[in-house]
Amino acid sequence: MAPFLNRRDLSFQLFEVLPTADLTSRPRFAEHSREVYEDVLNLAYSVAERYFANHAREADLSEPHVVDGRVVLPAAMRDAVRAFRDAGFFSAHHDEDLGGLQLPWVVMQAVQANFQAANVSTSGYPFLTIGNANLQRVFASPEQQRRYMLPLLEGRWFGTMALSEPHAGSGLADITTTATPRPDGTYALTGTKMWISGGEHELSENIVHLVLARIAGGPAGVKGISLFLVPRYRVQEDGTPGESNHVVLAGLNHKMGYRGTTNTLLNFGEGGETIGELVGEPGRGLAQMFHMMNEARIGVGMGAVMLGTAGYLESLAYARERRQGRHASQKDPAAPPVPIIEHADVRRLLLRQKVFVEGGLALGLYASLLVDDTQTGPDDGRADAGLLLDLLTPIVKSWPSRYSQEALSDAIQVMGGAGYTRDFNVEMYYRDNRLNPIHEGTEGIQGNDLLGRKLTQAGGRGLNILLGRMQADLDASEGLDDLDEIRAALRQAITWNTQALGAILPRAAELGPDLFLANANSALEMLGHTVVGWMWLRQAATAARALPGARADADFYHGKLHAARFYATHELPKVRAHADLLASADRTTTDMHSEWF
């Protein structure tokens, strides 16, 4: 079986770079220890290896299909979700009195990373379920939680998020699914939802859809959108699934990747009433859904990282084995060919993968720890943690999605023709990851969110916190050997950022929203590449501090330092081009006429 996760790196990121073990000083985690977290991660790895990695290719090749009205999935998927449930992962983040382990979110993300790397499409079912339950925990009434959330935490029922419609994807303000009040306080839903992952299957006893819909007669736009709990089977008095709720599978979408996760077109109210319960106040649906989407956006970024990681590890193993060609300096044709990892260009391709996926992992876990800080951190730091998390979320979602795609392309390149075949997994990971820049808000939407909202939110406080934290890490790494090049490159990149933002942000009103946002993608690239440079400084500083006492791990730390150098010399200079374009308020895209294409 191809390696899919670097367990050593996961521990390095969690316990050496990040202060995850210190979370035990918080009352909620007082019973935990680093050993507990390592044990949980080891369990996750073994379940992922045995029950998820075993059928990743089968899930890709045996696309879900409908037989006699039922969606057919590989049998191994049922064993996988059962093993996930038996290990207690559905509720692991939740309170002990709900059957959970009260795991911090950063550890939970690291647990999930194992499954994403092993088999991204089967892991989609539990992760949607976990996200659905987390939303209910915050917004659903106690009675709704008892009825719909507890079975999710027990892993008996699964969950979905049902936002998109055929005509409304990025523009959710235009959804038309309608909820009509019924005399008993529930609602009858009618309409069609598109792209709903996990929308129909036989893996669980019931499916709980979280559905965005408009209450009939309500206001237009976002203000009219409310959130509803809609089960596939109506829930009986005793809590068991009863008769059909008339959520009808209108079709399955046939996808490029992520094939094992069913993706559905669902009709509500076909052949009978689809009954739903309002969650919280009317008109708050999109804001509530953002609770799940923000969490999901970090999850998407982490999913991208893990696909990139799996591809990196597969191509690395191949590069160590495959012999081809000789060094340019080797003139003897009788000399044996060298392993391709000896060639500088192959090392370049491997280094690119390493900096993209390990930089992305550092970022995803950093953001996950911010989630913990907003929930359990010191009271006086929670607001700042929230603002920084808000600012970073579009980057955490988009940067790994884009750069894991590059990494996976490089993984295929390292493996030559072999990488282009189905004999290896890299082509599958490449197809799987191509979804990540699209779902949970496209890259275009994330760019608009970053430049149009997050950078100026709370008077730019999130940006100031970010700049402050980067500066603090630069200062703290002063005097560490070998980091000068990395520090200088990061300082320069930060200067390009502040100059570009200083030039563009004050011109928002003068330029008007269309022109102001025209180069939002450059903001995403500029800040994303810089933030990941910061993540590499943090890893390099940790490695430099550990190296003098390191024995067996010396190669690991040398690798971190060298990769940071690579990022500084090969990647950070690219920040400038994006900064210049952004600062200039370039009009090339807006000046292009549709007819000129």
For position 448 contacting ligand FAD by CB under 6 A, the verdict is yes
Q: Which of the stretches 65-73, 101-109, 389-397, 438-446 binds ligand FAD when contact is defined by CB under 6 A?
A: 438-446
The two tokens of residue 9 are 């790196």
For position 196 contacting ligand FAD by CB under 6 A, the verdict is yes
Cβ-proximal residue to ligand FAD, closest one? 169
Of 197 and 393, the one with the shorter C-beta distance to ligand FAD is: 197
- Is residue 179 within 8 A of residue 139, CB to CB? The reply is no
Query: Given candidates 439, 487, 538, 560, which one binds ligand FAD under the rule CB under 6 A?
Result: 439
Task: Reply yes or no on whether 440 is catalytic.
Answer: yes
Q: How far is the CB of 165 from ligand FAD (least distance, A)?
A: 8
For position 255 contacting ligand FAD by CB under 6 A, the verdict is yes
Give the bridge partners for 196, in sequence order: 264
Of 551 and 593, the one with the shorter C-beta distance to ligand FAD is: 593
Over its C-alpha atoms, the chain yields an Rg (Å, rounded) of 24
Give the three-class secondary structure for 160.
strand
For position 225 contacting ligand FAD by CB under 6 A, the verdict is no
Q: How far is the CB of 494 from ligand FAD (least distance, A)?
A: 27
Query: Given candidates 435, 527, 543, 575, which one binds ligand FAD under the rule CB under 6 A?
Result: 435
How far does the chain reach from its first CA to its final CA, in angstroms?
Answer: 47
Q: Which DSSP string corresponds to 437-494?
A: TTSSS-HHHHHHHIIIIITTGGGGHHHHHHHHHHHHHHHHTTT-TT-HHHHHHHHHHH
For position 169 contacting ligand FAD by CB under 6 A, the verdict is yes
Q: How far is the CB of 578 from ligand FAD (least distance, A)?
A: 17
Q: Which of the stretches 270-278, 412-420, 443-451, 567-575 binds ligand FAD when contact is defined by CB under 6 A?
A: 443-451
The two tokens of residue 372 are 């913990």
Of 147 and 193, the one with the shorter C-beta distance to ligand FAD is: 193
152 membership: H or E segment, kind and range: helix 150-153
Distance (Å, rounded) from C-alpha 322 to C-alpha 300?
33
How many residues bind ligand FAD (CB under 6 A)? The answer is: 22
Residue count of the chain, please give it.
597
Using CA atoms, how far residue 499 sits from 328, 448, 513, 535, in Å, is 44, 19, 20, 21
For position 162 contacting ligand FAD by CB under 6 A, the verdict is yes
- Is residue 233 within 8 A of residue 157, CB to CB? The reply is no
Distance (Å, rounded) from C-alpha 100 to C-alpha 29?
12
For position 581 contacting ligand FAD by CB under 6 A, the verdict is no
For position 293 contacting ligand FAD by CB under 6 A, the verdict is no
Minimal CA–CA distance to 18: which of 392, 377, 539, 462? 539
Catalytic hit among 277, 427, 440, 525: 440
- Is residue 499 within 8 A of residue 580, CB to CB? The reply is no
For position 163 contacting ligand FAD by CB under 6 A, the verdict is yes
| Contact footprint for ligand FAD (CB under 6 A) | 160-164, 169-170, 195-197, 255, 258, 263, 435, 438-442, 444-445, 448
Provide the annotated active-site residues: 440
